[in-house]
Amino acid sequence: MNPNYQEFRFPQIKAHPWHKVFRNRTPPMAIDLVCRLLDYTPLTRLTPLEACVHAFFDELR
């Protein structure tokens, strides 16, 4: 960490809802997968194996 910026605080940013990020035609399961992959908390974030068995990929199995 840079000793000159020890007191810097990042501004709080409001979450942007996924339905505004993706097009209306995006499948809900795709949005769920992305949301769970990008979870900030590592303990609740999907692992690669969990992502592979997500319902979004059911039609490929």
Give pLDDT tens digits for 5-28: 778 788 898 988 888 899 889 999
**What local confidence, expressed as pLDDT, does residue 47 receive?**
98
Cβ pair 27, 11 in contact under 8 A: no
CA–CA separation, 15 and 18 (whole Å): 9
| Burial of residue 38 (number of CB atoms within 10 Å: 0-12, 13-18, 19+) | exposed
- Mean pLDDT, to the nearest integer, of 31-49? 96
**What local confidence, expressed as pLDDT, does residue 49 receive?**
97
Kindly report the average pLDDT of the chain as a whole number.
91
CA–CA separation, 16 and 52 (whole Å): 26
- Mean pLDDT, to the nearest integer, of 31-55? 96
Provide the pLDDT confidence category of residue 35 given band limits of 50, 70 and 90. very high
